[in-house]
Amino acid sequence: MRRTVFPHKLLPWLLLAPQLAITLIFFYWPAAQAFRQSVLREDPFGLSSTFVGLANFRKVLNDPSYLNALQVTVIFSVLVAFFAMAIALFLAVQVEKIIRGKGFYRTLMIWPYAVAPAIAGMLWLFMFNPSFGTLAWPLRQLGINWNPLLDGDQAMMLVVAAATWKQISYNFLFFVAGLQAIPKSLLEAAAIDGATKRRAFWTIVFPLLTPTTFFLLVVNTVYALFDTFGIIHAVTGGGPGKATETLVYKVYNDGFVNLIMGDSAAQSVILMVIVIALTAFQFRFIEKRVHYG
Amino acid sequence: MKTVNLMVAGLVAMPMAAQAQTEISWWHAMTGANSEVVEKIAADFNASQSDYVVKPVFKGTYPETLNAGIAAFRAGQAPDIIQVFDVGTGVMMGAQGAIKPVAEVLTEAGFAFDKSQYLPGIVGYYSSPEGEMLSFPYNSSSPILYYNKDIFEKAGLDVDNPPKTWAEVWAAARQIKSSGAATCGYTSTWLTWIHTENFAAWNNVSWASNENGLAGTPELAVDGPLFVKHFQEIADLAKEGVFVYGGRTSEAKQNFTSGECGILTESSGGLGDIVKAGINYGIGQLPYDETAEGAPQNTTPGGASLWVMGGKSDEVYKGVGTFFNYLSQTDVQEFLHQESGYLPVTMAAYEATKASGFYETNPAREVPITQMMGKEPTENSKGVRAPNLPQIRDILNEEFEKMLAGQQTAQEALTAATTRGNAAIKEATGG
Amino acid sequence: MVDGTQSPLVAKGAARTMAHFWMILGVIIVAFPVYYVFIASTHSVQTILRPPLPLLPGSEMWDNYSGAFSGEINRIGGVSLWRLLGNTTLIAVGIAVGKIVISMASAYAIVFFKFPFRMACFWLIFITLMLPVEVRIQPTYKVMVDLGLIDTYAGLILPLIASATATLLFRQFFMTIPDELLEAARVDGAGPWRFFKDILWPLSLTNVAAIFVIQFIYGWTQYLWPLLVTNSNEMNTIVIALRKMISFADADTPWNLVMVTSVLAILPPILVVVLMQRWFVKGLVETEK
């Protein structure tokens, strides 16, 4: 909280008004509608509807395919967050060892950030399609039975790779900034103590990066949960079987393709609760960093 | 200033006709070359008369288009005409208050509606159990067999006689693989549509109870012995690497156009890509199972039809009727058929195309029609319908994928699909 | 992150060569898909359909690109490529500018004023941070119809402004402004507008640039929402046009044009990121700290 503020009473409300209006109209009102729909059973056209209480929620939570989607979501998110961060950190450390050409590398590293998920998905599918993908061919030559259309694990690898690819740019920029903020004197002291580079990294650099790492962990988790819809939609469509069907994809598929309105709305509500919990978690963390960081 | 005045004067002097035009919105899911056909038909219709303007609008994939239509209906902004894919037919039929039957639209607009002018196999599919035509068939297709003549030649197979039965397909596919003519013998698009729905019709076995759902709520019968035998054969071929799986919809077409696979079963509407890929291809009828009694029976249509939404003004309905009447004219149907590869909707268009000698240069275009018209449809071969067919197809695909990956046998896959599918149907009908 | 700043990690000799090796490998992997689509856009449909695709540019580049601009796309989608690019730019800029305006205003109110329910307002906005539009799409559509925003640029832009990312970023930044600055300004008799115009705005420029880039890309890459709220071809964006060209069922797909359109759909946001990278990176990293 600031010590000094402007004394106006009406002005802050005027400043807040546009944002509040848009939030209420385009977020809270639709969210309330989703809540309403989640306790109804309706035909797709809304011609008839009956109140069913929490039956939709019970059905969703007891549905093995929902639990499967939950499991897929957790595995997918953990893998994407891990690889996107690990690769970005590795490359950030490498680029910091370099003096000339840093700008050039960075410029190329940030490209994927600008590619639409729907297009990214299409590209990866095109490269790794088992029959005509340019990169699937060498895999086959290596004796790998590459068939993500039937092999659920390979399909998962493919969507994880595509989703990771899109997120490396963002993580890379943050790790580079984090590395540059590390005081040079600390590393010099370590060198004098005779610590190897590797040990110095794990005992000094990595702990100092914790705030950045933790922040990125939250951002990457949210990214993997929600922003990867376009990629999964384009690359696997949730298949084979239900091997790559995440929670968000299931909301889309049940509501948008299979037209099961009540179930889909109930899933939306569950997702909103997850989002609010995650937001609260992130908020506490960010507040801390503002005060102490 | 002068020119502006002149223009105003010109506008005033013009008759009022231009103002009175009624706009008719048409939401569709046609992409690529077929999207051009839609634009052209609308433009030609608009130029042919001055009372109505048809405005086509692309709304995404078939599911996206249907969903946009539903969202718009719920918000009171439904389009006048919406294109709905075959599997969405059950959903539309269930929405009695939301749609207006096409037969009604045509008669009310003052056009004599004679069902016998239309291809029976197609119209039957889009009619109510009582026989009233509910939607206007726009693009219909039927599965056929494509084969790569170069690969056949290399494998020592008869280039002019494609396999006619599934047993012959399996043998040819194995020969292609073992002779090294290609790495894959056979692939297929749309396993559900071709290997269950059309397989049932073509071999005259039941897909589901109640005339495959056309006469009432269906109960799936895809775990029948003929299906189990057929899918176990596919699973075995997949294990040997002779059959290659391409995906749930039309992706496998690329396994064929890339020269990887020698034989393909795919919609007749897929011809365009195969022609464009520039391979030396041939065409045959959809194979049947020689152990099935009375096979081959007839195939059923896939594709999409145009639905008219309810609650519009009489003026709009009159316009829609006029447009559908225009669409069913012989020359328009001929254009649609020859340009897009879809089937003609009327007998007259089929006969006119035949008389023009089109089929002599394009024999492939007649195969899907003769397949569909071969015999009077039985209760197994009028098509399939379920209130939630997209979901049923999803379930079948999931089980097939597990089967092809070697995780279960055909019997296990089909039993599981039947159980899960029936549970989903029960859920959807409020049981 | 300016070139030439000595990093504490700088290596010498073999270690530095290894670092270059890893960076080159990393850059190849990261940039390859974009290169790949460009290569595909220079080949004929036949070459694309009969893979594997060569890894060098083909000879059809001029034909493909001039064809796409001179009406081939128009023929399929009923609207010209220029119009598609124009629409997408307008929407992306509209979303970026709109978001910056409303979120700067609300962050300013929350940080520099004291009023009842201040934190409640902040939470009200903040909770909307991460909920994707896909999850609430159906009811949001109804709101659009009721407000008569279907087929308008406002309809394409307004709902996508509703997320809270930018508000949060500005709030974080404003909180780092020392109290002394505000006190000094008030001693000089500066009101809220003058303080904002003379002191806060110049200090915020890097952040504004960063948020502009982030939101421009967010707007440019939208798919499901523009598809739902536009009924006329004239309102299409380039990402929608791209999907329209790819056949899902039966029609033949003009793959060469698809590739050209992909390149044109990818290029503008890449240019924005690359050209504005100095401010973008600085603002992004500073505001998130």
Strand order in the sheet with B261-267: B184-188, B261-267, B143-148, B281-284
- Kindly list the distances between the CA atom of residue A54 and the CA atoms of A11, A31, A61, A248, C70, in Å, as whole numbers in the listed order: 44, 17, 11, 21, 57
Q: Residue B80 has which token pair? A: 């006048």
Q: Which residues contact A158 (CB under 8 A, 6 or more apart)?
A: A124, A128, A148, A235, A236
CA distances from C225 to A205, A236, C244, C245 (A): 43, 21, 15, 18
Q: CA B190 to CA B284: how far, in whole Å?
A: 18
Computed over every residue of chain B, the mean pLDDT equals: 88
Residue position matching structure tokens 């929402």: C225
Residue partners of B401: CB distance under 8 A and separation at least 6: A149, A150, A239, A240, A241, B245
Cβ-proximal residues to B39 (8 Å cutoff; 6+ apart), any chain: B56, C75, C78
The answer for B 253-282 residues in CB contact with C (under 8 A) is 254, 257-259, 267, 269-270, 272-273, 275-279
Q: Give the tens place of pLDDT for each residue, A194-228.
A: 777 788 888 888 888 888 888 788 788 888 888 88
Query: What's the pLDDT score for residue B6?
Result: 41
Question: What confidence tens digit (pLDDT) does each residue in A7-42 have?
Answer: 888 899 999 999 999 888 888 888 888 888 889 888
User: Is B273 in contact with C141 (Cβ distance < 8 A)?
Assistant: no
Q: What is the largest CA-CA distance in chain C?
A: 74
Say what the pLDDT of residue C48 is: 75
Overall residue count recorded for chain A in this entry: 293
| Percentage, residues of chain C above pLDDT 70 | 85
Contact indicator for B286, B297 with CB cutoff of 8 Å: no
How far, rounded to the nearest angstrom, does the alpha carbon of residue A271 sit from its chain's CA centroid? 14
What's the pLDDT at A186? 79
Count of C-beta atoms within a 10 Å radius of residue A183: 11
What tokens does C190 get? 């500066």
At residue A158, the pLDDT reads: 93
Measured between CA atoms, the residue of chain A closest to residue C162 is A23
What pLDDT band is residue A293 in, cutting at 50, 70 and 90?
A: very low
Nearest CB partner across the interface for A123, out of C23, C36, C239? C36
C-alpha to C-alpha distance for B136 and B138, rounded to whole angstroms: 6
Map residue B218 onto helix, strand or coil. coil
Helix, strand or coil, per DSSP, at residue C184: helix
Residues within 8 A of C (CB atoms), B 230-249 only: 249
Place A286 in a pLDDT band, splitting at 50, 70 and 90: low
B403, with CB counted inside 10 A (0-12, 13-18, 19+), is buried
In terms of Cα–Cα distance, which of C88, C138, C135, C112 is closest to C240? C88
Are the beta carbons of B58 and C250 separated by less than 8 Å? Answer: no
**Mean pLDDT across B393-414:** 94
Residue C97 vs residue C129, higher pLDDT:
C97
Q: What does the pLDDT average to over B263-270?
A: 90
**Which chains have 3 or more CB–CB distances shorter than 8 Å to chain C?**
A, B
Work out the end-to-end distance of chain C between its first and last CA atoms, rounded to an integer number of angstroms.
Answer: 15
Evaluated on CA atoms C74, C80, C85, C90, the torsion sign reads: negative
d(CA B393, CA B88): 12
Residues of B with Cβ-Cβ distance to A45 under 8 angstroms: 70, 73-74, 95, 97-98
Q: Which of residues 167-226 of B touch A (CB under 8 A)?
A: none
pLDDT band at C131 (very low <50, low <70, confident <90, very high): low
User: Is-contact A240 A217, C-beta < 8 A?
Assistant: no
Q: How far is B255 from chain C (nearest CA, A)?
A: 9
- C-alpha to C-alpha distance for A196 and C212, rounded to whole angstroms: 43
Chain C neighbors of A289, CB-CB under 8 A: 289
Report how far Cα B38 is from the mean position of its chain's Cα atoms: 16
Compute the distance between CA of residue B51 and CA of residue B22 in angstroms, rounded to an integer: 6
pLDDT > 60? residue B325: yes
Residues B386, B213: contact at Cβ < 8 Å? Answer: yes
What pLDDT, on a 0 to 100 scale, did the predictor assign at position A283? 67
- Global ipTM: 0.81
Q: Give alpha helix (H) positions in A99-151.
A: 102-109, 117-128, 136-141
From residue B118, give the alpha-carbon distance in Å to each of B122, B328, B335, B358.
Answer: 8, 9, 16, 20
C-alpha distances in angstroms, B347 versus A188, B86, B354, B383?
Answer: 88, 21, 10, 20
Q: Residue C186's pLDDT is what? A: 86
Say whether residue B341 is in contact with chain C using an 8 A CB cutoff. yes
Q: How far is CA B262 from its chain centroid?
A: 24
For A236-249, write each residue's pLDDT tens digit: 888 788 889 999 88
Q: Which of C114, C265, C273 is the closest to A110 by Cβ?
A: C273
Query: What percent of chain A is modeled with pLDDT above 70?
Result: 95
Q: Percent of chain B scored above 90 by pLDDT?
A: 56
Closest-CA distance, B400 to chain A, in angstroms, reads: 8
Tally helices (H) and strands (E) across chain B. Answer: 21, 10
Task: Give the HSE-up count for residue C260: Cα atoms under 13 Å, Cβ half-sphere.
Answer: 26
The predicted model gives B185-190 an average pLDDT of 94
CA distance A133 to A121: 13
Q: Which helix (H) or strand (E) holds A68?
A: helix A64-96
User: CA of A107 to nearest chain C CA: how many angstroms apart?
Assistant: 6
CA distance B289 to B201: 11
- What value does the mean pLDDT take over residues A111-120? 87
| C124 vs A23, A165, A186: nearest CB | A23
C228-241 pLDDT, tens digit per residue, is: 787 777 888 888 78
How far B285 CA sits from the closest chain C CA (Å)?
18
pLDDT at C132: 64
Residue B19 reports pLDDT greater than 80: no
The string of pLDDT tens digits covering residues A122-160 is 888 888 877 767 788 788 778 788 888 888 899 999 999
Q: Which helix (H) or strand (E) holds B184?
A: strand B184-188
Per DSSP, the three-state class of B142 is coil
Provide mean pLDDT across the span B154-162. Answer: 94
Give the per-residue pLDDT at C201. 92
Find chain B residues with C-beta within 8 A of C49's C-beta.
Answer: 254, 257-258, 273, 276-277
pLDDT of C248 strictly over 60: no
Q: What span, in angstroms and rounded, lies between the C-alpha atoms of A171 and A167?
A: 7
Residues 6+ apart with CB under 8 A from A276: C127
Residue B57 CA to residue B29 CA, distance in Å, equals: 8
pLDDT tens for C9-64 read 777 788 888 889 999 999 998 888 888 889 888 988 777 766 667 788 888 888 88
CB contacts of C144 in chain B (<8 Å) are 75
Min Cα distance B234 → chain C (Å) is 23
Residues 6+ positions from C116 with CB-CB distance below 8 Å: none
Q: What gap in Å lies between CA A195 and CA A191, rounded to an integer?
A: 6
Cβ neighbour number for residue B129 with a 10 Å cutoff: 12
B288/C181 Cα distance (integer angstroms): 84
Interval B193-216: pLDDT, tens: 999 999 999 999 999 999 999 888
CB-CB under 8 Å, C220 with A116: yes
Question: Which chain C residues are within 8 Å of B276, Cβ to Cβ?
Answer: 45-46, 49, 252
Q: Is the minimum CB–CB distance between B97 and chain A shorter than 8 Å?
A: yes
Nearest to B51 by CA among B316, B309, B312: B316
CA-wise closest residue to A206 among A90, A65, A38, A37: A90
Confidence check: pLDDT of B178 > 90: yes
Residues 99 to 138 of A: which have CB under 8 A from any B CB? 129-132
Chain B interface mutation, best of A253, A258, A264, highest count of B Cβ atoms under 10 Å: A258
Closest by Cβ to B33, choosing from C145, C236, C251: C251
Confidence (pLDDT) at B11 = 41
pLDDT value at A48 more than 70: yes
Assign 3-state DSSP to chain A and report helix, strand, coil percentages, each to 5: 75, 0, 25
Mean pLDDT on B24-43: 87
Q: Does pLDDT of C68 surpass 70?
A: yes
Provide the 3-class DSSP secondary structure of residue B55: strand
- Give the Cα separation of B413 and B399 in Å (integer): 5
Name the more confident of C187 and A256: C187
Residue of C nearest to B140 (CA): C250
CA B62 to chain centre: 11
**Could you read off the pLDDT of C146-195 as tens digits, one per residue?**
888 888 899 899 888 876 778 888 888 888 888 888 888 888 888 889 99
Residue C44's identity, in one-letter code, is S
Q: CA distances (Å), C102 to each of B80, B144, C107, C167, C168, in order?
A: 38, 58, 9, 8, 12
Looking at the DSSP bridge assignments, the partners of residue B261 are B184
Tokens 């890449």 map to which residue?
A: C270
d(CA B427, CA C257): 44
The model's confidence at residue C211, banded by pLDDT at 50, 70 and 90, is confident
Provide the number of CB pairs (under 8 Å) joining chain B to chain C.
121
pLDDT band at C141 (very low <50, low <70, confident <90, very high): confident
**pTM, full prediction:** 0.84
Given this model, what pLDDT does residue B84 score? Answer: 94
User: In this predicted model, what pLDDT tens digit does every residue of B103-147 receive, in sequence order?
Assistant: 999 999 999 878 888 888 888 888 888 888 999 998 888 999 999
- pLDDT at position B329 over 60: yes
Which residues of chain B make contact with A253, given a CB cutoff of 8 A? 394
Q: What are phi and psi of B186, to 5 degrees?
A: -140, 145
DSSP string, C229-255: H--SGGG--HHHHHHHHS-SSSSPP-H
Q: What is the pLDDT of residues B239-258, one digit of tens each?
A: 999 999 988 888 888 889 88
For residue B188, the cross-strand partners are B265
pLDDT score recorded for residue B266: 93
Residue B9 has pLDDT above 60, yes or no: no
Report the pLDDT value the prediction gives residue C79, as an integer from 0 to 100. 76
- Amino acid making up residue C105: A
A49 and B CB contact within 8 Å: no
Most confident of A167-176, B364-373, B404-413, C278-287: B404-413
User: Looking at this protein, which amino acid is placed at residue A143?
Assistant: G
Q: Phi/psi of residue B309, each to 5°?
A: -80, 150
Tell me the three state secondary structure of residue A87: helix
Across A277-281, B83-87, B340-344, B418-422, least confident range:
A277-281
Query: A188 to chain C, minimum CA–CA distance in Å?
Result: 8
Task: Please compute, for residue B6, the number of CA atoms within 13 A of its CA located in the half-sphere on the CB side.
Answer: 3
DSSP letter assigned to residue C7:
P
DSSP one-letter code for B102 = H
**Contact across the interface for B58 and C244, Cβ inside 8 Å:** yes
Cβ(C271)–Cβ(C121) below 8 Å: no
Residue for token pair 């649609």: B336
DSSP B118: B
Cβ atoms of C88 and C237 closer than 8 Å: yes
Residue A82 has pLDDT above 90, yes or no: yes
